[in-house]
Structure 1
């Protein structure tokens, strides 16, 4: 299965879950990187997606609710919010 096809399926399933375009981008990012990493800082997600850390944090609740294949948990607050993501 090609990357383009899997991206299209991910976007389509995110849209059917009622996510905004921003939320779909965050979810796709987490799905693409969850196999390699467990902890994600809002600031670093934001840098990669050209968003603000505040935008990432504000949308994570909806993303977590829609991500049936991922477990997303708020993990730390020490220097920005960290999210623990497990597939």
Structure 2
């Protein structure tokens, strides 16, 4: 299944930022489990605060990945599993 299809399923109510973050997480979830808001923001041109705010919204949805707030040290860390 393509990243677009995985993001597209059930994501009609997502903002553009949320779709971009979700696509990034789905693309990298095979290689990585823990993601820092700061580093996601660097990759996508968003601030860590923008990432954190949108990640909270993504936690409640049913997508190709599960997102859990994992810790805070220099930037919020999120555990992302498929």
- Band of TM-score, shorter chain: 0.7 to 0.9
Gaps of 5+ in 1: none
Gaps of 5+ in 2: none
Query: Relative CO higher for 1 or 2, CA cutoff 8 Å, sep ≥ 6?
Result: 2
| Partner SS state of residue 66, structure 1 | coil
Bigger share in helix: 1
- Is residue 24 of structure 1 aligned with residue 19 of structure 2? yes
Residues paired across the two proteins, number = 82
TM-score by length of 2: 0.87
Cα separation, 2, equivalents of 1:35 and 1:19:
23
Distance 1:80 1:39 in 2: 12
The structure with the largest alpha-carbon Rg is 1
TM-score normalised to structure 1 length:
0.82
Q: Distance in 1 between matches of 2:7 and 2:42?
A: 20
